Structure 1
Amino acid sequence: MSVKFHLPDFWSHGPLNLALIDMIKSNPEYFYDGVEIASVYGCFPPAVWNGGRNINGYASEDVIKKVLDEFNSRGIPCRFTFTNPHLTEEHMSDKFCNRLLELADNGLNEAIVNTQVVEDHIRKNYPKYKITSSTCKQIRDMDKLIAELEKDYILVVLDYNWNNNMEALAQIPEKYRSRLEVLVCPYCFPNCQRRGEHYSFLGKQQIERSTINAFQGMGGMQLNVQQEKPFLCEAINKNFLETTEFSTHVTPDTLYNKYVPLGYEQFKIEGRTIHPLNVIESYVYYMVKPEYKDMVRLKLGLSVFQPRM
């Protein structure tokens, strides 16, 4: 049995994820059988192609190389979240994003896509990349889902509203199930009618932020920027344990005793821009045996919060 987890984020949660990866190798007895880390997803700022969540700042090339090496040397792919829904052909000439693809073009790293323009650009210019179809596409129809699985994607990330619909999931042909990635702990309300609107808001915001952060990161003067208006949603402020009450939340029991026996083995944990304590709690919740939860929680917390001497 293989249970593959995809973690958030090599940029904002880099040290935490490295600590978890190393702990699984050094202390496998802490974890449920079959647990492995299949990838870490995210992006480096100020990538204008980034979507799903916003990232701020500016990552220098030296830092990018170091982060990629930390994960790749452990055999872990970094998956770029190139899912901004507002990208056009003009954006495909972006120097920063193309340089990211060049730096990580070793056959191990991957990309998540939401638009045809990005997918076509990567397939044409960087054919070594394995490409995943994003949950941002919000595919809710079974025929459309099967059609997506028939395309040349390494994985297709399910819309979270399929979660726990075991009757529907059992109807998906077995040959496709190992290529479906389940977002097990969504922070969005079930059947949220504003999810597409939120992705759109974040995409536009990322384009604006990328222009500013790139200018300042390359030594430009500080710009006066108007205060951004936040996207108002009650779910944004929920902690991990509060989201376990959602009908779309997949419990560990359901994951290991229903999904895995059906042939599902790819599971995504949300949390790119979430406080690391919430991310740690989700890791312990899904991967760690009960008798080791306190130990792992403490060790992972220290990896993030312990002062560096």
Structure 2
Amino acid sequence: MFEFYELYQIFFPLYRRHREYFYDWCEIGSVYGAPADCIWGGGRVGEGNHDPQEVLALMQEYGISARLTFSNSLLRQEHLLDKKCNALCEVFAKKGQNGVIVHSDLLLEYLKINYPELYFVSSTTKVLTDFQLFMKEVNREDFLYAVPDFRLNKSFDKWKILSQSQKDKVEFLCNECCWFGCTDRKSCYETVSRKNLGEDCPEHHCAAPDAGSGYRFSKAMENPGFISIDDIKNVYLPMGFSNFKIEGRGLGSALILEFLLYYMTKPEYHIHIREKIYLDNMLDLF
């Protein structure tokens, strides 16, 4: 929300005015993120500092739920009184149906008491690769949604036995690029949590075979956990699942646009969206 505000400021009006450009089965349910220097932040080190009131106003104008990504896994009691994070929660709780993506149960209990207007999402940063452990998250009344680890995405024999109310709470992460065989994902997220807390900690060095190339959408598409457009239409929707999440914080506006084109836009209209956005000199894609 805060990092790509300028992109969404252009994209949302296109989505409203030219609905024919987009798949009719696809809706924007929410946009997520956290500003820089939020100690409750997790998943990625926060980027972007756009004014929260303007961000929230844009989301409300287009009827989109705003989710604060407060998935730091290492919070302690003293961190709960952070002024910046509390101020953000106060603003988001007062306007519309907004939520928080959360990892820490300590933070969850605090938010439930102090900001009951917000809804809560169980974060994929919990790295729950055991299906039964993930189902415990789904079955918790605290959460409106739960995001599984991407390595559970294709466990169709297990997903098909869920009740419809359980299916409605599952939100699949579609385009993860992380190595499918990674065993360090949890420690990677913990390093991010320490950085957001301002702790002096060593860098996490990814052990993936091609870690040096960084995120590549083409590489994500080859991941065994990748969820394609065809998968959504022909597998997940017929099974009764309807919530899908696109990752992309820290990757840059140009790549976010490619995700929006792939997942939301009919191929014959990709060039129309690109032209309208690239020719708008308000947006710097580089």
TM-score (normalizing by structure 2)? 0.90
Q: Which secondary structure state, in structure 2, belongs to the residue aligned with residue 182 of structure 1? A: strand
Aligned residues of 1:51 and 1:199 also touching (Cα < 8 A): yes
Q: Deviations over 1:32-54 (max 9, x none)?
A: 11211111100122210000000
Give the match for residue 85 of structure 1. 73
Give the match for residue 5 of structure 1. none
Q: Which secondary structure state, in structure 1, belongs to the residue aligned with residue 29 of structure 2? A: strand
Deviates more, 1:277-286 or 1:193-202: 277-286
Give the match for residue 72 of structure 1. 60
Is 1:110 the counterpart of 2:87 in the alignment? Answer: no
Select which of 204, 220, 234 maps to 1:231: 204
Amino acid in structure 2 at the alignment position of 1:157? V
Amino acid in structure 1 at the alignment position of 2:222? E
Q: Which secondary structure state, in structure 2, belongs to the residue aligned with residue 231 of structure 1? A: coil
Is 1:51 the counterpart of 2:42 in the alignment? Answer: yes
Aligned residues of 1:112 and 1:134 also touching (Cα < 8 A): yes
How far did residue 66 of structure 1 move? 1.6
Deviates more, 1:144-153 or 1:122-131: 144-153
Q: Which secondary structure state, in structure 2, belongs to the residue aligned with residue 105 of structure 1? A: helix
Amino acid in structure 2 at the alignment position of 1:258? V
Select which of 264, 267, 284 maps to 2:241: 264
Give the match for residue 293 of structure 1. 270
Aligned residues of 1:83 and 1:115 also touching (Cα < 8 A): yes
Deviates more, 1:104-113 or 1:124-133: 104-113
Whole-angstrom CA distance in 2 between matches of 1:38 and 1:58: 22
How far did residue 20 of structure 1 move? 2.5
- CA distance 1:170–1:42, shift in 2 (3 Å): same
How far did residue 56 of structure 1 move? 4.8
Give the match for residue 115 of structure 2. 126
Q: Deviations over 1:50-105 (max 9, x none)?
A: 0000025766xxx2212211212222121011111110111001111111111111
Aligned residues of 1:40 and 1:79 also touching (Cα < 8 A): yes
Give the match for residue 141 of structure 1. 130
- CA distance 1:238–1:105, shift in 2 (3 Å): closer
Select which of 78, 86, 110 maps to 1:98: 86
How far did residue 305 of structure 1 move? 6.3
Q: Any unmatched runs of 5+ in structure 2?
A: none
TM-score (normalizing by structure 1)? 0.84
Query: Percent same amino acid among aligned pairs?
Result: 29
Give the match for residue 41 of structure 1. 32
Aligned residues of 2:6 and 2:282 also touching (Cα < 8 A): no
Whole-angstrom CA distance in 1 between matches of 2:282 and 2:223: 30
Q: Which secondary structure state, in structure 2, belongs to the residue aligned with residue 36 of structure 1? A: coil
Whole-angstrom CA distance in 2 between matches of 1:27 and 1:56: 30
Whole-angstrom CA distance in 2 between matches of 1:76 and 1:198: 30
Q: Which secondary structure state, in structure 1, belongs to the residue aligned with residue 233 of structure 2? A: helix
Give the match for residue 176 of structure 2. 186
How far did residue 243 of structure 1 move? 1.5
Structure possessing the higher relative contact order (Cα contacts under 8 Å, 6 or more residues apart) = 1
Aligned residues of 2:47 and 2:250 also touching (Cα < 8 A): no
How far did residue 286 of structure 1 move? 1.1
Give the match for residue 158 of structure 1. 148
Amino acid in structure 2 at the alignment position of 1:45? A
How far did residue 159 of structure 1 move? 1.0
Amino acid in structure 1 at the alignment position of 2:35? F
- CA distance 1:304–1:253, shift in 2 (3 Å): farther
Give the match for residue 213 of structure 1. none
Whole-angstrom CA distance in 1 between matches of 2:280 and 2:4: 10
How far did residue 164 of structure 1 move? 2.4
- Number of aligned positions between the proteins: 278
Quote the RMSD (CA, aligned, Å). Answer: 2.1
Q: Deviations over 1:235-280 (max 9, x none)?
A: 7613212211111111110111110111111110010111222111
Whole-angstrom CA distance in 1 between matches of 2:18 and 2:48: 35
Is 1:282 the counterpart of 2:256 in the alignment? Answer: no
